[in-house]
Structure formats: C-alpha cells, structure tokens
Amino acid sequence: MHLPDGIVPVEMALAGYGASAALASLSLARVRALPDPQSEIPRVAMLTTVFFAASLIAVPVPPISVHLTLAGLMGVMLGWFAFPAILVGLFLQAVLFGHGGVTTLGLNGVILGVPALLASGIWALMGQRWPVPAAFLAGGGGVAASLAIFAGIVLAGLPLALDMQAERVALSLFTAAHLPLIVAEALIVAGALRLLRRVEPRLLPHG
Amino acid sequence: MWAKGIAMSQRNKFAFALICMGAMLSAHPAAAHAALVEAQTAQAIRLHAVYDTGAPMSHAQVIIFAPDDPARPWGQGVTDRDGRYDFIPDATEGRWSVQVRHAGHGAIVHVNIGENMPMIVRSSVETGWLNRLLMVVLVAWGALGTALFAVSRNGRRDASA
C-alpha cells in the first residue's frame, strides 16, 4: 500500500510532505514531553526494523499480492514514536528496495502513519481495560484506515486522461483483496501482545 | 409523325445516356469494396509491466507522452493479461515517457528514441532476493546497534546515579 513516484500530481506530493512534516513535529513534541524518551529507543529501533522488513513479505491474494502494513502494531507498541519510526522505515524501503517512492514519501507517511496514531489512540483508550478487543481493533482498524486513506488519495489524484471507471474498478478489487489483511493484522497485534506478556512483559506497551 | 418519331428517339437516347451516367455514378460506391493494403516495417516499443513480486500487471492502463508534449498524452491503451503492451511511436526523436498504472500502483519508463534506439529499458533496477536479504540484515544490524547503544548508555547512567 505504497504510492510509487509519478502516480500523483506534484501538488499532492508536496501536500503529503507538508502533512507528514506537521505530524512528525507533533509526534516529536509529544515524545519530548515523555518522562524518559531515551529508554524507548531500543524498542523503537527494533520495531522500525520489523516494519522495514515486513515490506518483503508478500501474501498472494489472487489476482494480486498484498504486503503487511503493520500500522496497528507500530501504533500500539510505539505510541507517538510510531510516526517518525514509520517515516524512517518508508524512506529506507523507497531508497533500498524501490518500494514506494521518494517524492511520495510524505503521502506514504500519511497513509501508514495516521492509522498508526489512530491505533495508538485506540490502545490508550481501551488497552488497560479490554486488551484483547483493543488489540484486534487497533490491528484491523490500522489496515482499514490505511486502505481508506490510500484509496482517497489515489481517487483524488487521478489524471483526467485516465479511464476513471476502469481505475475505480481496479481500486475496488485492490481494496477487496486487502480485506483478509485486516483480519491477519488484527491477529498479529493480538498474538504479539500475548507473546510479549509471556516472554518479555517489559516490552509491552504501557497503554 | 416521322418527325415525332425522331423526337421520341432523341428523348430515348437522352434518357438512355442519363441511365448510363447514373449507373456509372452508382457503380462508384461499389468500387469501395476494393481494398488497398500497404505493408511496411516499423520499430515498435514493447512494454512488459510486472509488480515487484514478479506478477504481471494485467489490464493496467498505459499512458504515452511524446517528447514534444509531456503534458498531453500522445496515446493510451491497456496491457494484456501478461502485462504486455506494444506501440509504434511516430518519428519524433527524444525521450518518450510511458506510465503504466493499476489501482494506484505503477511506474514510469522513459525510452530514448533516436539514432541509437535502446532495446531494453527498465523503470527501476531490479534487486534480487540475496540483495534484499543483505539490505535487511544491514538495517537490522544498524537498529540492533542503536538499541544496544541506548541500553548500554541507560545502564551507565543508572550506575552513575
């Protein structure tokens, strides 16, 4: 669910950079307000690697294949750290693998970073009292929100020369193919939290 | 009576001439059944669009931009089931740009058309699985180093406190 270079108009790409810069500034300001932000760096570094490597995992859902987004997991585990961590992961994916684009880095930050912040909010609201439903909602909701933002940006940036109807049909099929991913990522978040509770409770998000 | 006969004959001749002309004129559309076909060789651009997983970009939309007008599409089309699309550019020399897109995914490829026409042009450099694995290991190593550095720094700070 990464927008490549050259797909959206330049104005939209610039707007994406503006939105990402604003969200990154907000996130870093909230991080600075934490009592000990340095202590979170190991967790952020490890999860950034997990997010970066997740782009290699392609799950075939005929007629296309889908990639894990891990927006929900990043949000739940990292809170306000999630947005800058996702930006770093997206930059490395674009530069090293050509997955996504450099000009669309800002938009891709919005596509995956905003759902991560939403997942973080869900976990902060519900995580202490109802951890399992909160994990499912954050994981699945992260993918659903990413899909919605991705589809909205693609539709808003369609060039006039394109066959709109054909692109809308293709986008509908693309969205339908990602529906199993909503369930998969809900299970991933719930499973990861369950595993951490048993193996290393210190790594659990604080909620 | 004889003069009248002559007059009738002239009228008949005139009518006959008119019918013949009409027949000739009406025969003109029938000549359209004939066909003229010219055959000449031309150098075509063959696109093959695939996702990074190797799966073909079936039925993706293709937009072609000529070098002299990069704002307005020169041509459009749709790839086949295997992600292939062929087109024959006109004589305009320079950098032709072709965008292939499907559901928000796609790529732009640039083809230089001139004296030395390239045979194969790729929109991006392909990375093999070994390269990808190496990159992941390097990034993981960097992240692990960062994590260990942060842990050791926190440990030193706790010890000194």
What's the pLDDT score for residue B119?
A: 55
For chain B, give the longest Cα–Cα distance.
145
Chain A partners of B58 at a C-beta cutoff of 8 Å?
Answer: 63
Q: What is the predicted pLDDT for the residue at A185?
A: 93
C-alpha distances out from residue B126 to A83, A150, B82, B121, Å: 29, 25, 19, 12
Q: What is the pLDDT of residue A91?
A: 92
The whole-number pLDDT of residue B8 equals 53
Angstrom distances, CA of residue B112 to CA of B42, B89, B98, B109: 16, 11, 11, 10
Distance from CA of B117 to the nearest CA of A (A): 24
Nearest CA among B40, B62, B159 for reference residue B106: B62
Neighbours of B34 (CB within 10 A): 6
The pLDDT assigned to A76 comes to 94
pTM here is 0.78
- The reported pLDDT for the residue numbered A162 is 81
Residue B114's CB is within 10 A of a number of other CB atoms, namely 11
| Average pLDDT estimate for B80-108 | 87
Is the confidence at residue B86, as pLDDT, over 70?
A: yes
Residue whose token pair is 């909230």: A30
Task: Please report the DSSP string for A38-106 in residue order.
Answer: GGGHHHHHHHHHHHHHHTT-EEEETTEEEE---HHHHHHHHGGGHHHHHHHHHHHIIIII--S-STTHH
Chains A & B: contacts with CB separation below 8 Å: 101
The pLDDT confidence band at residue B135, using thresholds 50, 70 and 90, is confident
Neighbours of A181 (CB within 10 A): 23
Asked if B85 and B65 count as a contact pair (C-beta separation under 8 A), the reply is: no
Helix axes A131-156, A179-199, angle to 10 degrees: 140
Q: What is the average pLDDT across B139-152?
A: 73
Residue B112 touches partner A, C-beta closer than 8 Å: no
In chain B, % of residues over pLDDT 70 = 67
Q: Within 13 Å and on the Cβ side, how many CA atoms surround A137?
A: 15
Per-residue pLDDT band at B5 (split at 50, 70, 90): low
Predicted local distance difference test score (pLDDT) of residue B1? 47
Identify the segments of chain A with pLDDT beneath 70.
Answer: 63, 206-207
Helix then strand then coil, in percent of chain A rounded to 5, is 75, 5, 20
B127 to chain A, closest Cα gap in Å: 7
Residue B60: list chain A partners with CB under 8 A.
170
What confidence tens digit (pLDDT) does each residue in B47-71 have?
999 887 788 888 899 999 998 888 8
CB contact under 8 A, A53 and B136: yes
Res B16 pLDDT > 60: yes
Model confidence band, residue B89 (pLDDT cutoffs 50, 70, 90): confident
Report pLDDT for A206.
Answer: 59
* A3: chain B residues, CB-CB within 8 Å: 104
Q: What's B63's DSSP letter?
A: E
Length of chain A: 207
**Rounded mean pLDDT, B33-40:** 85
pLDDT level of residue B4 (50, 70, 90 thresholds): low
Q: How many CB atoms lie within 10 A of CB A125?
A: 14
Please tell me the distance from the alpha carbon of residue A138 to that of residue A135, in angstroms, as a whole number: 5
**Does B154 reach chain A within 8 Å, measured CB to CB?**
yes
State yes or no: pLDDT of B14 exceeds 80: no
